[in-house]
Amino acid sequence: MQVIIDSTAKCVNQAAERFSALLRRKPDAVLGLATGSTPEALYGKLIEQYKAGIISFKKVTTFNLDEYVGLNGDHPQSYRRFMQEKLFDHVDIDLKQTHVPDGVHTTPENAADYDKMIEAAGGIDLLLLGIGNNGHIGFNEPGSSFDALTHIVDLNESTRQANARFFASINEVPKQAVTMGIHTIMQARSIILMAFGAGKSQAIAGAVTGPVSADVPASVLRLHPDVTMFVDDGAATDIKV
């Protein structure tokens, strides 16, 4: 695992360049995408590059990591809506080729069909991850099995609190989500994780220097052959080398 520590802006630029280089080399790449505050600036850079004629999304296929249970794609806080607003509506992507787990129709029995769709598309070339304050990746909370495929999870109270900023009140934050499992994530050929701000520093320290353990789900990434973490100076403060 490569850990790059730099300013937030430089982390964003370098991560965006990795996506851009892939799309130039492989225009029909399969991307794994994340929501939340962390990837927003990266999506902004990709939109700029599209508008400048440097990259195209015409042949790209995407699979998002997760979605809230109970929110349909029109809900303002759904991750489908986030992706439309932050990326898809601004580039030449074919919406039929964009996938976000279905927060309304997914059941415990059919959730892993998402893995089959990823496999049928040829697997994910490059997957983008954020990290939760508690070390989660996707919505794989501490204690999650490393063997899990896409499944429905109960969200931790700390995750609901962290995401309450997007909702009118904590009571409106869904209690469950559909998420790619850790096995699904580990199948991606290449992974980029971005972590910004001091709130992520303990999770990053645990992931980078602690034991590989389900207590810090992101630590599993050390077992993957091609992971780059872009960690800004704030999120790097607890890494002891």
Give the binding site for ligand PGA (CB under 6 A): 36-38, 130-132
- Active site (annotated) includes residue 85: no
Closer Cβ to ligand PGA, 98 or 159, answer by number: 159
Spot the catalytic one: 66, 67, 115, 125: 66
Nearest-5° Cα angle at 177, 171 to 181: 150
Tell me whether residue 224 is one of the annotated catalytic residues. no
- Catalytic, 141? Answer yes
**Residue 74: exposure state from Cβ atoms within 10 A (0-12, 13-18, ≥19):** exposed
The least CB distance from residue 130 to ligand PGA, in Å, is 3
Q: Which is nearer to ligand PGA, 26 or 175 (CB)?
A: 175
Work out how close the CB of 76 gets to ligand PGA at its nearest, in angstroms, rounded to a whole number: 16
Question: For residue 153, how far is the Cα from the chain centroid?
Answer: 16
DSSP secondary structure code for residue 137 in this structure: B
> Which residue, 106 or 138, has its beta carbon nearer to ligand PGA?
138
At 163, list the tokens: 């995401």
Minimum CB separation of residue 155 from ligand PGA in Å reads: 10
Cβ 35 to ligand PGA, closest distance in Å? 8
CA distance 209 to 181: 23
Check if 136 is active-site.
Answer: yes
Which residues are known catalytic residues?
Answer: 66, 134, 136, 141
